[in-house]
């Protein structure tokens, strides 16, 4: 048997890591998936190869995150290996060893924002962002689209790419009014310099295959076509499944495989999904077959019944309605980008960020320089139990004026006011952290 | 019982036999392998080493044969039917080894729970059809049957008593991999008759020579099993050749280190690897021609470089193999070979020196160099190619995936400290290989019959898998067809104890005679089964094996 696309699989189940023994994010989360993948003989298929994870290093993390107090303190080896797994998948694709790759790794990362004071929604650092910035650092400038199909809003990835016009972030998820983290609404369209490169598709509870495929065909694919990415990344969370214990959706293995075959991601990275026995084994086999361009028609959960899980007509109508609204706002957002630029020099937002897994509250003020030549320099003021910090972020390919402004502002920072100050200089790939003098 | 051992290995070119007495090779024989009459080759070699031996002194005879290998590699094994119960998942017809297959109702999930029952009436009607097609051997393989064999056993029962042999999937291996299980089950059924007929004949001949010592067969993983037991595991005896050589090296060149074993033959060089003196195994099983199997085997990579490989000049460069056109020119072959180069260099005084010189001269003229220089170039290229292949093998082994943080951090990396070379050309290539590897190289005594010695001294080995699910309160060992209830507070410690008990019994049944059986855990994992954030049970997975190695009696 031979696959139609050459596919790489990084399988790192971290059988010896858990948040706690009965936590959903625990040792055996991928155990039954590994059983199913082994028993189906997927790795014997010509064209599907297993890749060994590498270990990410702290510079990979510092390229994306501002860790308080530092990367070494907010991560464990498992996080470096999970990120390293995503990086191994990316390297195999970028060097053309394979056509596409799937990193079946844990722990997940899509709730991890730019500033990391602890763990949020089982996530400490953002695997996709670490991988994408590794790609850009190693292989040059790329337009990247990240499509997050986890049931929870990918608020971490959204935060990291909020101001980046070269990264399109699309999240489809269960409506934030009914599920953690309570964000990801339609008007969240991106920051001043990147309006329209963040898209949120909040779906009502009990959405089934029909609804997911509808928004994929009618929102995601057209916007991807418009954006023209060099790479499509899928944050492949699997908690939209009807058997998932912590969500309320009605998606299936067949649906996930179909969605994957429509999306044709270059790299997929596992996110959530906690029905470890009844959903994950089948969803993962479906995704792997779909990525490899093979038939997945017989991949079904033992209790799969498409009629039983079908969404109501009301849900179908509602999804059509929000789809129109999203497409309309997407069109407007691109025009609004210009308006801001004429009006202001900088834009500020202030937020309170709660780290539910570690019970930490952070108060954050973020100021972005309005710029029509680059993503704009960002200055972040953050205070939490972990310390008071200030970080200056000069984006990749920053224009001269934003670069100069960033470096000057970092030099001028009042070191006495903060426990730590950070410079994340992406132009020079230079990361500085200084403690209070 | 006696103290002498006979090992016998049927190789591609030669059949070797060795008589081992008190840890010494007392006699050995080499006869040409006649594929049309393997029985005569085997008995011929055997009779030579038996010459002058009192058969009452024999402790055992071990055969390593490639009996069915060629037919399997060429897809010419006996026809056999295959009954498959797959349930949902990949379409099993993607992997079929035979046209006589039947996909039937029934399904088991990854925890051994029934998804869909089988239909005995369906099976009975298939049995009639198989009879009508005059097939007498068949296999039954189910997805996840290693987690619950009930369906395979029920299908076997429904098939009735009218067949000569029915192989079942859960007994071939405890490992997961349904396509490989289908194929291996099928091979067990397809090879059964050939295997049985051959060894019945050998058994009769030995009896007529008044030999009562137990007879063993070497498996591809370097362990042995009793002749009688081998009938149910005939596929495991395919391709035992590389295992014979590696076991021979373990006996002849005692090493506790990481080492590479090179068996340089006429057509190929087999590369095997020892870690701490123990041979590495294939992760799942060997690939045989078109078939990926669950046949446990020593890791061995065969590359097309040997004494009889064709030597050519391509764009001004010497190439070796991968094909063989016949024997060396010195022995009347059609094409110059590395053996001819060795003859030209005066390393060996064999065959027709003039023919060898003529062959190498032809190549020297194309290269516009002296004939001696061309000969040296050929030997160097042969060695360099072998070194490159070895390095690629080591790299491949070291990049195998790991599944736990512990394994990753442990990061065991193989760095060979020694190269052990056997096979005909071994002593002549060793010096050059030593220079290229910059590592110690050893050519053990009896390097040309190491394979036969290896077969003789290999230990009886076997392995078992144990799955315990304390939520469902079941314990299951597929290899032993053992399924029993356990209490919900059954622990990993209990599981390990049961595993060693079952393994000991199994090893005895397979023919292990040692007083103390050397066993080890290969895997011991324990996971929580959680329902609604509460632990409701444990999933315990144990794999244990008799340590592969050489029998202690060898050193007695
Ligand atoms: Zn999620
Ligand atoms: Zn700028």
Q: What would the mean pLDDT of B12-20 be, rounded to a whole number?
A: 88
**Which among B399, B401, B527 has CB closest to A11?**
B401
In percent, the amount of chain B with pLDDT more than 70 equals 98
Structural domain boundaries, residue B480:
463-546
Query: What is the helix (H) or strand (E) element at residue B313, kind and residue range?
Result: strand B309-314
Is residue B305 helix, strand or coil?
A: coil
Q: Are A329 and A282 in contact (CB under 8 A)?
A: no
* End position of a domain, from candidates B136, B155, B184: B184
Separation of B95 CA from ligand 1 center, angstroms? 36
Convert A213-252 to b/e letters by CB count within 10 Å (16 or more is b).
ebbbebbbeebbeebebebbbbbbbbbbbbbbbebbbbbb
- Asked if residue B282 and residue B148 are part of one domain, the reply reads no
Cα-only R_g, chain B: 25
Answer yes or no: do B212 and B122 share one domain: no
In B, which residues are within 8 Å of A24 by CB distance?
533
Do B215 and B111 belong to one domain? no
Clarify whether residues B177 and B215 are in a common domain: no
- Distance in angstroms (rounded) separating the CA atoms of residues B325 and A87: 47
> A44: which chain B residues are within 8 Å (Cβ-Cβ)?
177, 179-180, 292
Nearest C-alpha of chain A: how many angstroms from B91? Answer: 7
Residue B293 lies in a domain: yes
CA A102/CA A30 separation, integer angstroms: 14
A17, A41, A302 member nearest B180 (Cβ): A41
Nearest to B405 among A17, A23, A50 (CB): A17
> Which of B184, B218, B236 lies at the terminal end of a domain, its last residue?
B184
Whether residue B346 lies inside any domain: the answer is: no
Place of tokens 């037919």: B71
Same domain, B173 and B270: no
Q: Does residue B33 or residue A367 have the better pLDDT?
A: A367
**Centroid of ligand 1 to alpha carbon of A133 (angstroms):** 22
Residue numbers of B between 74 and 93 with CB closer than 8 Å to A: 87-91
pLDDT higher than threshold 50 for residue A210: yes
- Contact between B154 and B140 (Cβ < 8 Å): no
Give yes or no for B509 touching A (CB within 8 A): no
Query: In this structure, is residue B492 part of a structural domain?
Result: yes
Judgement on whether residues B433 and B291 belong to the same structural domain of the protein: yes
- Fold designation for A2-321: 3.40.800
Whether residues B129 and B229 share a domain: the answer is: no
> Please, are residues B311 and B341 in contact by the beta-carbon 8 Å criterion?
yes
Contact A15 B95 (CB under 8 A): no
With CB atoms and an 8 Å threshold, state whether B408 touches A78. Answer: no
Distance CA B9, CA B67 (A): 11
- What b-and-e string marks burial along A255-279, b requiring 16 or more CB atoms within 10 Å of the CB? bbbbbbbebbbbbbbbbbbbbbbbb
Mode of pairing for the β-strands spanning B4-10 and B14-21:
antiparallel
Residue B45 and residue B456: Cα distance in Å, rounded?
14
Q: Is the pLDDT of residue B428 over 90?
A: no
Shortest CB distance from B403 goes to which of A12, A24, A41? A12
| In the predicted structure, residue B408 carries a pLDDT above the cut 70 | no
Q: E-assigned strands of A175-266?
A: 198-203, 231-236
User: Virtual CA dihedral for B182, B183, B185, B186, nearest 10 degrees?
Assistant: 110
| Spatial CB neighbours of B216, under 8 Å, sequence gap ≥ 6 | B60, B61, B62, B63, B224, B225, B226, B227, B460, B511
B35 or A241, which is more confident: A241
- Verify that B64 and B95 share a domain, yes or no: no
Backbone angles phi, psi at A369, to 5 degrees: -75, 125
Give the whole-angstrom CA distance, residue B410 versus residue A304: 41
pLDDT of the residue at B548: 84
Q: Which of A263-267, B225-229, B331-335, B407-411 has the highest mean pLDDT?
A: A263-267
Closest Cα of chain A to B296: distance in Å? 16
Sequential DSSP letters for B102-138: EEES-EE-TTS-EEE---HHHHHHHHHHHHHTT--EE
- Same domain? For B270 and B122 the reply is no
pLDDT of residue B33: 85
Examine the fold and report which residue of B184, B217, B242 is the final residue of a domain before the chain moves on.
Answer: B184
**Nearest by Cα to B84 from B8, B13, B186, B190:** B186
Ordered DSSP codes for B37-51: GHHHHHHHHHHHHHT
Q: Work out how many domains chain B is built from and give that number.
A: 3
First and final C-alpha spacing in chain A: 64
* Interchain proximity B401–A77, CB inside 8 Å: no
Mean pLDDT is highest, among A305-309, B22-26, B545-549, for A305-309
Over range B288-311, report the average pLDDT. 90
Query: Computed over its alpha carbons, how large is the radius of gyration of chain A?
Result: 21
B182-223 residue pLDDT tens: 999 999 999 999 889 888 988 898 999 999 999 999 999 999
Closest ligand by atom to A172 CA: 1
State residue B556's pLDDT score: 36
> Do B126 and B61 have their domain in common?
no
Strand-strand pairing, B534-546 and B463-469: antiparallel
Domain ranges of chain A: 2-321, 345-435
How high is the pLDDT of residue A90? 98
- Chain A residues with CB-CB distance to B145 below 8 A: none
The whole-number pLDDT of residue B65 equals 84
Say if residue B164 is in the same domain as residue B126: yes
Residue B415 lies in a domain: yes
> Considering only CA atoms, which of A361, B18, B14 is closest in space to residue B5?
B18
Contacts of B95 in chain A (CB under 8 A): 1, 41
> A52: CA distance to ligand 1 center in Å?
25
How far apart CA A381 and CA A364 sit, in angstroms, is 6
CB atoms within 10 A of CB B268: 22
User: To the nearest whole number, what is the mean pLDDT of chain B?
Assistant: 90
Catalytic residue IDs of A? 111
């Amino acid at each position: 048997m031979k696959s139609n696309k050459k596919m790489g699989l990084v399988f790192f189940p971290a059988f010896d890591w858990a948040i706690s023994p009965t936590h959903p994010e625990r040792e055996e989360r991928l155990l039954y998936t590994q059983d199913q993948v082994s028993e189906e003989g997927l790795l014997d298929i010509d064209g599907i190869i297993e890749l060994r994870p590498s270990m990410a290093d702290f510079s990979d993390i510092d390229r994306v995150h501002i860790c308080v107090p530092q990367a070494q303190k907010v991560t464990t080896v498992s996080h470096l290996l999970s990120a390293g797994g995503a990086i191994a998948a990316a390297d195999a694709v970028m060097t053309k060893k394979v056509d596409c790759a799937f990193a079946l790794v844990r722990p997940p990362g899509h709730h991890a924002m730019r500033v990391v004071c602890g763990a949020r929604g089982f996530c400490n650092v953002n695997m996709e962002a670490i991988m994408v910035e590794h790609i850009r650092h190693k292989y040059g400038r790329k337009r990247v689209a990240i499509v997050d199909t986890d049931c929870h809003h990918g608020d971490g990835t959204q935060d990291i790419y909020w101001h980046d016009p070269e990264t399109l972030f699309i999240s489809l998820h269960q409506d934030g009014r009914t599920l953690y983290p309570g964000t990801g609404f339609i008007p969240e369209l991106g920051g001043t310099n990147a309006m329209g490169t963040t898209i949120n598709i909040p779906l009502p509870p009990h959405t089934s295959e029909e609804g997911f495929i509808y928004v994929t065909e009618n929102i995601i694919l057209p916007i991807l076509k418009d954006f023209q990415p060099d790479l499509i990344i899928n944050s492949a969370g699997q908690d939209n499944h009807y058997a998932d214990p912590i969500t309320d959706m009605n998606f299936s293995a067949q649906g996930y495989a179909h969605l994957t075959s429509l999306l044709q991601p270059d790299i997929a990275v596992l996110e959530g999904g906690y029905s470890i026995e009844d959903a994950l084994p089948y969803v993962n086999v479906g995704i792997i077959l779909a990525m490899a361009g093979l038939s997945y028609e017989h991949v079904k959960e033992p209790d799969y019944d498409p009629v039983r899980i079908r969404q109501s007509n009301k849900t179908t109508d509602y999804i059509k309605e929000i789809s129109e609204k999203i497409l309309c706002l997407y069109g407007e957002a691109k025009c609004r980008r210009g308006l801001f630029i004429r009006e202001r020099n900088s834009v500020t937002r202030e937020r309170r960020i709660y780290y539910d897994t570690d019970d930490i509250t952070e108060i954050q003020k973020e100021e972005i320089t309005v710029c029509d030549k680059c993503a704009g320099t960002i200055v972040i003021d953050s205070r939490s139990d972990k310390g008071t910090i200030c970080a200056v972020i000069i984006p990749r390919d920053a224009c001269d004026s934003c670069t100069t402004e960033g470096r000057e502002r970092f030099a001028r920072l009042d070191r006495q006011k903060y426990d730590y100050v950070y410079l994340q200089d992406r132009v020079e790939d230079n990361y500085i952290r200084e403690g209070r003098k | 019982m006696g103290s002498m051992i006979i090992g016998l290995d049927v190789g591609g070119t030669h059949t070797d036999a060795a008589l081992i007495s008190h840890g010494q090779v007392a006699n050995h024989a080499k006869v040409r392998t006649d594929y049309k009459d393997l029985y005569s080759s085997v008995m011929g070699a055997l009779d030579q080493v038996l010459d002058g031996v009192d058969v009452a002194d024999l402790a055992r005879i071990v055969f390593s044969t490639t009996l069915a290998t060629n037919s399997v590699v060429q897809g010419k094994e006996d026809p056999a039917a295959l009954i498959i119960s797959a349930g949902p998942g990949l379409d099993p017809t993607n992997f079929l080894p035979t046209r006589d297959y039947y996909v039937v109702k029934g399904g088991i999930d990854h925890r051994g729970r029934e998804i869909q029952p089988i239909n005995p009436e369906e099976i009975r009607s298939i049995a009639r059809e198989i009879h009508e097609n005059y097939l007498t051997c068949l296999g039954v393989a189910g997805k996840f049957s290693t987690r619950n064999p009930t369906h395979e056993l029920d299908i076997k029962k429904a098939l009735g008593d009218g067949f000569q042999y029915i192989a079942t999937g859960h007994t071939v291996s405890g490992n997961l991999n349904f396509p490989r299980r289908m194929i291996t089950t099928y091979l067990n059924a397809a090879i059964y008759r050939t295997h049985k007929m051959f060894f019945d004949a050998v058994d009769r001949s030995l009896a007529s020579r008044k030999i009562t010592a137990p007879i063993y067969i070497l498996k591809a993983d370097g362990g042995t099993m009793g002749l009688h037991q081998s009938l149910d595991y005939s596929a495991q005896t395919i391709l035992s050749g590389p295992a014979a050589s590696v076991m021979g090296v373990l006996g002849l060149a005692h090493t506790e280190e990481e080492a590479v074993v090179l068996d340089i033959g006429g057509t190929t060089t087999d590369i095997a690897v020892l870690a701490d003196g123990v041979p590495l195994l294939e992760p799942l099983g060997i690939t045989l021609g078109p078939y990926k199997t669950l046949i446990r085997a020593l890791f061995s990579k065969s590359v097309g470089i040997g004494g009889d490989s064709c030597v050519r000049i391509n764009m001004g460069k010497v190439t070796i193999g991968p094909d063989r056109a016949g024997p060396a020119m010195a022995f009347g072959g059609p094409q110059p070979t590395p053996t001819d180069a060795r003859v030209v260099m005066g390393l060996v005084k064999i065959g027709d020196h003039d023919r060898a010189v003529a062959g190498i001269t032809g190549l020297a003229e194309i290269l516009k160099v002296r004939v001696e220089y061309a000969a040296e170039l050929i030997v160097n290229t042969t060695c360099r190619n072998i070194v490159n292949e070895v390095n690629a093998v080591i790299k491949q082994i070291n990049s195998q995936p790991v599944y736990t943080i512990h394994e990753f951090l442990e990061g065991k990396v193989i760095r060979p400290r020694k190269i052990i070379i056997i096979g005909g050309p071994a002593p002549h290539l060793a010096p050059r290989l030593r220079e290229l590897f910059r590592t110690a190289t050893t050519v053990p005594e009896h390097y040309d019959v190491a394979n036969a010695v290896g077969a003789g001294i290999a230990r009886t080995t076997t392995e078992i898998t144990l799955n315990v699910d304390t939520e469902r309160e079941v314990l299951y060992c597929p290899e032993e067809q053992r399924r029993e209830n356990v209490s919900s507070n059954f622990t990993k410690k209990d599981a390990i104890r049961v595993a060693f008990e079952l393994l000991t019994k199994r090893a005895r049944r397979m023919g292990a005679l040692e007083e103390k059986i050397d066993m080890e855990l290969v895997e011991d994992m324990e996971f929580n089964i959680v329902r609604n954030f509460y632990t409701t049970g444990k999933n315990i997975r144990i794999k244990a094996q008799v340590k592969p190695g050489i029998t202690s009696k060898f050193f007695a």
